[in-house]
Amino acid sequence: MLKNAPKFYEIAKRVVEITEDSIVVAHNAQFDFRILQTEFRRLGFPFERKTLCTVELSKKLIPDLPSYSLGKLVRSLGIPVTDRHRASGDALATVKLFKMLLSKDSEKTIIQDALNRKPKKQLEPKLIDIVSSLPYSTGVYYIHNEEGAIIYIGKSKNIRKRVNQHFTGTAPKAKKIQLQVASVTYEATGSELVALLKESEEIKRNKPLLNRALRKRRFTHALYSFVDSEGYINLKIDKADGRKKAIITFTNRQGSKDFLFNCVDKYNLCQKLTGIYKTKTSCFNYEVKKCNGACVSKETPESYNIRVSQLINKYSYSNKNMVIVDRGRDIDERSAILIKDGIFQGLGFYNLNYQINNIEILESIITPMENNRDNQHIIQTYLRRNKRLKVIPLDNIETV
């Protein structure tokens, strides 16, 4: 049935048109509307509509029924249904049910109360003009006061939507922004990684008044390694310490533990030698035959350390020479983040018509940036979460 059906982006404009100034009615509206919003979010479009849920209305207007599923509900009310579990059949059944509910709501109070609106603050004309001038694209935005000074810097995958949230928010910071904002400028990046790096550096450089929280370190814990007296490489989660060489850093302890648990399974590591299972004998996985026995010297250090080294090499870019290639600001452009000898050098953009086929060309497009712990953490975290990201070793790029 779906083989020749159109893709969502092909009908999205029509969905916007037919729902304009309308109320979306659905059986379990929260679920259906969330699906619609998700699809529009993927297209970079903020889809907002009022909704009515016929499940909620039925429970209020026709209480004490054994079930409020669409099939059982319409059957108990004598509403004829054709093509059950098909889009047209279920939609027509919902229409008939809704008409019945409208007729039962004689005072019209329940219908009005059941309107599921997201509370929206009316924007001042000045703020409306500012929002309308912003793009739906990924990048960094700068909020200025009347003197032109930057009072807040942020990044978003949808600049217009994020700034609009600042302008309609009720939190103390949002209210301060609304009172002081005179204009908003932005820099499109295309890549979320580039936006994160630029946001971090710009906040440190400009120290905006309302960015106090983001001036602090982003990471609290890190993964470290050491070799024990038997020659095995051990892994350990500990509080982040800039004086120590970390494999990878994390924003909280729970995230670091989750990461290590996954690595134990993925690389067949010993729970004892990763600090997960505190014991003086064998680890739990060895007892259930999921560990090769490094915890009791059944597996040689040479054999075990190969797998630990694979993990370290994958998630640490220490001493590595590589280029991380990500999205650009336009369809024919890409961004490049340069790492040399494990040190973040900076970033730049290049047109696809001009391939970065030698190191001189690559370095000429790179804007130097500071190699601090925050930037290292940002890059490592992004690499960990975006496994399909293109990473090119510098060995593959020619030198002239």
What's the rounded Cα separation, in Å, for the pair 153 and 77? Answer: 56
**pLDDT recorded at residue 400:** 46
Q: Which of 215, 231, 257 is the last residue of a domain?
A: 215
Q: What tokens appear for 113 in the block?
A: 């109360």
- Burial (CB count within 10 angstroms: exposed 0-12, middle 13-18, buried 19+), residue 188: middle
pLDDT digits (tens, 9 = 90+) for 12-35: 999 999 988 888 899 988 888 988
pLDDT at 85: 66
| pLDDT number for residue 140 | 94
Q: What is the pLDDT of residues 45-66, one digit of tens each?
A: 888 888 888 998 888 888 888 8
Mean pLDDT of all residues in 9-14: 89
pLDDT at 394: 83
The better pLDDT of the pair 84, 35 is held by 35
> What stretches of 181-327 show up as alpha helix (H) in DSSP?
192-206, 253-266, 284-287, 301-315
Same domain, 85 and 31: yes
Which pLDDT belongs to residue 42? 83
Give the confidence band of 362 by pLDDT, cuts at 50, 70, 90: confident
User: Percent of the chain, pLDDT > 90?
Assistant: 37
Percent helix, strand, coil in the chain, to 5, is 40, 20, 40
pLDDT for 107 beyond 70: no
- Cα–Cα distances in Å, from 243 out to 145, 224, 239, 246, 373? 39, 12, 11, 9, 11
Q: Would you call 205 exposed, middle or buried from its count of C-beta atoms within 10 A (0-12, 13-18, 19+)?
A: exposed
CA distance 214 to 200: 8
- The verdict on pTM exceeding 0.85 is no
Domain boundary among 215, 231, 251: 215
Please give the pLDDT value at position 377.
Answer: 86
pLDDT tens figures, 300-323: 999 999 999 999 888 887 778 899
Is residue 119 domain-resident? no
CB atoms within 10 A of CB 75: 15
- Domain membership of residue 120 (yes or no) is no
Structure-model confidence comparison of residues 395 and 341, the more confident one? 341
Residue 119 scores a pLDDT above 50: no
Task: Determine the structural domain holding residue 329 and report its residue range.
Answer: 322-396
- How many residues in total does the chain contain? 400
Residue 90 binned pLDDT confidence (cut-offs 50, 70, 90): confident
Q: In whole angstroms, how far apart are CA 251 and each of 183, 221, 318, 367, 377?
A: 32, 6, 19, 27, 9
Residues 130 and 161 in one domain: yes
C-alpha triplet 66, 71, 75: angle, nearest 5°: 75
The region that residue 190 occupies, defined by phi over 0 for left and psi between -120 and 50 for alpha, beta otherwise, is left
Structural domain includes residue 1: no
Residues 389 and 347 in one domain: yes
Contacts of 54 (CB under 8 A, 6+ apart): 25, 26, 27, 29, 94, 97, 98, 101
Same domain, 250 and 207: no
> In the chain, how many domains are there?
4
* More confident: 130 or 361: 130
Structural domain includes residue 59: yes
